[in-house]
């Protein structure tokens, strides 16, 4: 009996380890609009693409996605399924004096100070009034609460209706 008890403990422990490795935040926990916080672990999400906006922006960005987003991009699935979360990490687009000195010429641009992190969350029920997408922005970790600015995110993305409001393409 003692051996059986020991084995049961072993099975229990292993089961807990397995459960632990496959745990991921619930959809509610991962929704920055609902929680007022960036989704846990978003900084380690897979890479979708990079962008560089000039005009009056001078911004440099990395676009990352959760597993639902990445699968949809890779499969070319449109519209994006519920549960998709896309993060865009914005920085100033600045010349790198450090690199240029080493290269011996002015050629290198790198991320300068971070400006904001934006999220788009797909939930076709919850965000039905904005084409199924919720919008959030964090400046230095703090959520932007200005509804007019968040509304302007939707207004611009809505112009890209053919691609379910998403500008980024998956970089191979």
> Quick one: 128 or 142, whose CB is closer to its own copies?
142
If binding is defined by CB under 8 A, does position 32 make contact with its own copies?
Answer: no
Helix (H) or strand (E) segment spanning residue 138: strand 133-139
Judged by CB under 8 A, the residue of 17, 78, 128, 149 near its own copies is 17
Interface map 77-106 toward its own copies (x if CB under 8 A): ------------x-x-x-----x--xx-xx
Instruction: Give CA separation, 17 vs 3, 10, 11, 25, 47, in Å.
Output: 21, 11, 10, 16, 28
| CB nearer its own copies, residue 28 or residue 67 | 67
Question: What whole-number distance in Å separates Cα of residue 110 and Cα of residue 98?
Answer: 10
Name the β-bridge partners of 143: 138
101 versus 128: smaller Cβ distance to its own copies:
101
Tell me if 70 contacts its own copies by CB under 8 A: yes
Contacts of 165 (CB under 8 A, 6+ apart): 120, 131, 133, 154, 157, 158
Residue 21 lies near its own copies (rule: CB under 8 A): yes
Which residue matches tokens 């979360």? 85
Asked whether the beta carbons of 31 and 87 are under 8 A apart, the reply is no
How far is the C-alpha of 3 from the C-alpha of 21, rounded, in Å?
27
- Smaller CB separation from its own copies, 105 or 147: 105
Min dist CB 126 to its own copies, Å, is 26
Verify binding: residue 11, its own copies, rule CB under 8 A: yes
Separation of alpha carbons 61 and 100, rounded Å: 21
Site for its own copies, rule CB under 8 A: 3-4, 7-8, 10-11, 14-15, 17-18, 21-22, 43-47, 49-55, 57, 60-62, 64, 70, 89, 91, 93, 99, 102-103, 105-111, 114, 156, 159-160, 167, 169, 171-172
């Amino acid at each position: 009996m003692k051996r059986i008890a020991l084995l049961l403990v072993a099975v229990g422990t292993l089961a807990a380890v397995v459960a632990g490795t496959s745990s991921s935040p619930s959809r509610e926990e991962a929704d920055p609009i609902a929680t007022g916080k960036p989704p846990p672990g978003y900084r380690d999400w897979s890479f979708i693409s990079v962008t560089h906006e000039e005009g009056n922006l001078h911004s440099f960005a990395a676009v990352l996605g959760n597993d639902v987003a990445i699968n949809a991009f890779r499969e070319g699935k449109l519209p994006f399924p519920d549960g998709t979360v896309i993060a865009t990490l914005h920085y100033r687009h600045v010349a790198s004096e450090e690199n240029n000195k080493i290269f011996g010429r002015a050629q290198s641009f790198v991320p300068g100070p971070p400006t904001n992190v934006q999220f788009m969350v797909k939930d076709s029920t919850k965000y039905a009034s904005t084409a199924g997408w919720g919008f959030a922005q964090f400046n230095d970790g703090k959520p932007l609460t200005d509804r007019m600015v968040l509304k302007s995110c939707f207004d611009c993305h809505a112009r890209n209706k053919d691609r379910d409001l998403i500008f980024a393409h998956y970089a191979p």
